Amino acid sequence: MKAIHPYACPRCCRLPANTFRTGMANSASKFCIAKGGRREVKKDESGGGYALCHLPDSRIVEEWEYFRSQH
């Protein structure tokens, strides 16, 4: 049986945008936790997801913003 490349599938059979893929590590999440932080997943007004990183020094930062500022 041939494998189907995910981009070869028509738009109608793709997973919804809010579906999370399991098994794929999020670099920003891993970085937050490695720095002793705790993650908090939130949704914005349009339903999009984002995560905050609660750092040991009491700062609360958006995890991707924090990741980019350190790399």
Of the pLDDT bands very low, low, confident and very high (cuts 50, 70, 90), residue 44 is very high
- As given in the structure block, the two tokens for residue 41 are 């997943």
Q: With respect to residue 52, please indicate whether it lies within any of the assigned structural domains.
A: yes
Instruction: With a cut of 90, say whether residue 24 has pLDDT above it.
Output: no
The domain in which residue 29 lies consists of 24-70
| Helical segments of 1-71, H only | 27-34, 63-70
Q: With respect to residue 38, please indicate whether it lies within any of the assigned structural domains.
A: yes
pLDDT at 61: 98
Domain count, the chain: 1
Phi, psi dihedral angles at 67 (to 5 degrees): -60, -50
pTM here? Answer: 0.63
- As given in the structure block, the two tokens for residue 46 are 């349009």
pLDDT at 2: 52
